[in-house]
Chains A and B, each alone.
Chain A
Amino acid sequence: MFNLGNLLKHKTVILSCRIILGSVFIFASIDKISHPEAFAAILHNYKLLPDIFIYTPALFLPWIELIGGSFLIAGIFVRGSAYILNSLLLIFILAITINLNRGINFDCGCFSTIPGENGSTYFLLIRDMLLLIPGAMIYLYYKKDRS
């Protein structure tokens, strides 16, 4: 008999989630790593950080995405990777929500696309929320010392 709970905990489903989420973060990191100045400009446009704290996340954040995504796919520190990537998703959701509420038109920079309209920003918000689902599934699966 079909059981959704068992399906969500199935090894193949979890592996697929790891590949999808990991790939998304690796893909998102490449352009930012290649163009740190441009990513700094995008972070500045969020208007959430003081100028002294712009370059630090501009340099480190893409690498955290790349290493986290790669480890998640490779099966290294899976629980820690899922924890970090889920935390990043929550930070992105918070940042987008704050700026939507403030009515600030900003470039997301999430995947190096350049959305500038509220419509596409809402899409980004929903997409980040949806990505939390595989993230949470992976974390819960590996929480039971399976890593």
Chain B
Amino acid sequence: MKKTMIEVLSILTTAVVAALIFNQASGNRIHIFQNYEKVELVDQEYNIEFIDIEIVRYYLEKEGTIVLDARSVEEFKSGHIPGASSFSINEFDTLFKERGEFLKLGTNVIVYCSGPTCEDSHMLAIKLSGKGIKDIFVFKGGMEEWIGSGYEIAGENIY
């Protein structure tokens, strides 16, 4: 048992040292002694969360994630996040009839609109939640932050 414990301590020490070195060198550095910053909730009742651009990119790589663009179809056509589907808040009832069942299959639904000050994504999130869609996230920065960060933009590709 003593030998096992020595091995365990050696592995843990190696892991801790590697993690600290990587964390120092990484662009995604986290501060381990800091309180976790809770995500801001749009509405506790609906359990809708704001997420930042890095979390959006993380979720985009995952199977089952659905990204919805709450802006108008014209705005969507002019440029949107790759993989996103147009889901204009103005046509919510029609679109939900068409795609409601599909949305229920998603493990995470991310919604966004023009930028940090637009409210269409919040409204869409609340409406979807009201229809029974779970795990909805609002990408607060929207297209403004996406374009500003220099990430790839898709166009003329309506779902």
Contacts and interface: CB of A to CB of B under 8 A. Distances in A.
Given A44-B38, A51-B35, A116 B16 contact: no
B30 A79 contact: no
Interface of B: 3-8, 10-12, 14-16, 18-20, 22-23, 26, 28, 30-36, 38-39, 51-52, 54-55, 58-59, 61-65, 107-108, 134-135
Contact of B30 (A34, A36, A71, A117): A36
B15 A117 contact: no
B38 A34 contact: no
Contacts of A56: 32-33
Contact of A59 (B32, B51, B58): B32
Contacts of A63: 15-16, 18-19, 22
Contact of A55 (B7, B20, B36, B54): B36
A68 interface: yes
A122 B15 CA distance: 30
B11 A77 contact: yes
Interface residues of A, number: 43
A38 B58 CA distance: 7
Contacts of B38: 44, 51
Nearest to A71: B11
A66 B14 CA distance: 11
A27 interface: no
Contacts of A116: 107-108, 134-135
Contacts, number: 117
A46 to B, nearest CB: 12
Contacts of B11: 64, 67-68, 71, 77, 80-81, 84
A68 B58 contact: no
A138 to B, nearest CB: 12
Contacts of A107: 108, 135
B7 A80 contact: yes
Contacts of A113: 62-64
Nearest to A34: B28
B18 A79 contact: no
A83 interface: yes
